[in-house]
Structure 1
Amino acid sequence: MNAPELSGEMIIRGGTILTMDDAATVWDDAAIHIRNGVIVDIGPSHTIKAHETGCRTVDAHGCAILPGFVNAHTHLAMTLFRGIADDVHLQDFLRRVVAEESETLSPQRVYTGALNACYESLLAGTTDALDMYWFPHEAVSAGRDAGLRVHAGEAFANFPTPEHTSVETKLDSLNAADRRVPWLMPHSVYALTEDQLSRIAASAQELGARIHVHAAENEGELATVRAQHGTTPIEVLHRTGLLSSRTVIAHAVHLTDNDISLIAEAGASVAHCPWSNLKLASGIAPVRALLDAGVRVCLGTDGAVSSNTLDMWTTMRLAAVLHKWRDHDPASIGSRAVLAMATRHGAEALGIPGGGVLAPGMPATLQIVDLSGPHHSGVGDIWSQLVYSTHPGDVRDVIISGVSVVADKKVVSEDVRRPALAQ
């Protein structure tokens, strides 16, 4: 692919397009016409024509074209700690990680760890990441420099943090700020009092912020929350006002029937993180029951310290296979369902306008996946091919709002991207 462009026209031609629209439309030998970062036409290749001289054509023969992935729960800068707390339960994991964070983290280190995570994510087809971590502005800055869209906000916890700022100080600062705050991130209900949780909910309402929170991750957490609050983590979120259509709950592994009903009634989303849940022996989220209740389920990798990878491809594959076993039903969660979780459902949960779907009028945010490798031979169904056979290394190009951020399997440098963004 040539140098990225935002203005003018571009046509991606010859690939198989998965639009991820309501009808799960797929076109073979198809094309996407992009102008000024927006899709203006999409369909069979012979129907898509350029209307201006100088229109750039991208050859996608032998490739699949689909929306970029949305990583709906991660801690980007935890690439710094990959491997320091493997093969332990969640509570031991947290003790090790919190101690390491307190001793070593600084804004600059968060930027460095997040920048590496952004590159890892982009090369695997991820265009958006919901990041919960300390010094959130550093992760956003790293995303801007790398080309990844990082969605972040202030995190709150009463345990010692590298920011050395109290929950009350953060809340007072938020309430005094005359600005829109995109996200507020209470770490968990066990890390805060109910009064603090209620104040965060009130601030979110006042500032128009979305909420991201860990909840119901393992049995140890349930016992702690019951001792502190007398009920389940989901019920605490409900009674403190934190459970709403603007809430993304990470994990949601151990849920009662009432918990599922509360999540569904609130319109909240769940970020399913199968790798870290299995690796920490936390359990398996009841995804089929959540879907049956009408809950939007998306996918997250969690941080590289607990999952060791930010790869949404293996996250999709594990999610699909895991629930076949859990539900004793090979059709429980199919390839179409997990692709929707990784794309449009994640975009909906994060409130990304027009995200996760390829259609006229939508932002041109997509990935082009090379299907020529030997591990793709003999596959007859494109959905199965992508979910069960594709590797991160198959991602050839990534485009975000019409700007190339990965070209020919290499991250496009900032000095090349920046002029296109400025147009």
Structure 2
Amino acid sequence: MASICSYTTIRGTNKVVRAGDCVFMRPYDHTSNLPRVAHVQKIVQDDKYNVLVCVRLYYRPQESIGGRRQFHGAKELFLSDRFDFQSADTMEGKCVVHSLKNYMKLENVSAEDYYCRFQYQAATGVFSPDRVAVYCHCEMPKNPDEFMLQCKECKDWYHPACVDMTIEDAKNLDQYVCSECSTDDDLENPQATLPESQASDGMMVFHDEHRFGDCVFMRPTLSNVRKLPRVAQVEKIEHDNRNNVNVSIRWYYRPEESIGGRRQFHGVKELLLSDQYDVQSAHNIIGKCVVHSYNNDTKLENIRPEDYYWRFEYKAATGTFMPDFVAVYCKCEMPRNPDDFMVHCKGCQNWYHPACVGMTIEEAKNLGHFVCSECPSVIYSKKPQATYPVPLPFYGPQVTVTDEFQQDIEQRLTKMEKSLEECNKLLEALMRRLSKYQ
């Protein structure tokens, strides 16, 4: 019977891989020197302690139907709709796939850093989103590998070559104003600050410092007793001929606004990315915020009032979550709440609430290191299964492990065993033939 594991390790290293991590995997084609990049969805272990990972594959631009384009960066990936089961031994290392916005903020890009701005359907070659912001006179999406100038007035970006400058000349400029903003007609005409909507041509219109993809505070509704601002992600910004600016947004829900309500593991700054879209006047925007993706291994040093995080997508009509399971920790088997202090076991790498292991928070903070009560029997046992991580249960709003999923794993393992037996038979037949010629 297959069971779900909370983590595994990369063979030959002590690097821990959990669901949600991105990893390098052995390439299908041995002629290729580039490893595959994949997002780990699940980690399972069978009765023989064979560890399998369910992954969602990333594509490189040259692997897509349209091929690599001019605006594709060297570290760009597409999140495909292809899922696969692979042995955990095919993982060769860990990497990080950032959003384009976060990738461009990196001071030093390492070999493990990539970025993704498109989802890709491998069978049809269709991308989502099907439009992105374009810049410069050439009307091309931004390539983070290329140096660009930003106009001080309209906030648009330009390639130096497109405005008759070399890169060296552009880098020596203190500030830049494009030709459209520097003309007298444009300065006298108030409509020059708001270009006509280009959404039908795949262009996104900017208003002040707000761009598509930003997260913003929206004016609370009259029914909001707590008067908390609503949080939304800007999808489009358009305006009409009267300069009325409208924003198309995707709402974030607070946990207490969901059908199940706020749970113990929900953090104070946690949000749920809903499937609810809306069009609002830009005057309802009252500020900017940042909604980070949740990762157990990363933590902000200083959390500002405008910092939030999310780890679930939420379907408002049905009250269902995606993903429908997350890793749980401690003896209480609850997902991690970043607001709660927890101690980390040096042996099994699990996290525990001090109260669940008979300690106060002050005592836990004074510990040099912590080893849970279950680790001595697991780490120092001479049994073969002791070399594998102990599977931890998972929590989710829905059923975590279905019978269909277990049957699917068992069927796959049975097919693998049959294939191995057939290979052995063919090998024996080949050896018998070779022995006749010796």
Shared fold, TM over 0.5: no
Q: Shorter chain as normaliser: what TM range?
A: under 0.3
Q: Decide which structure has greater helix share.
A: 1
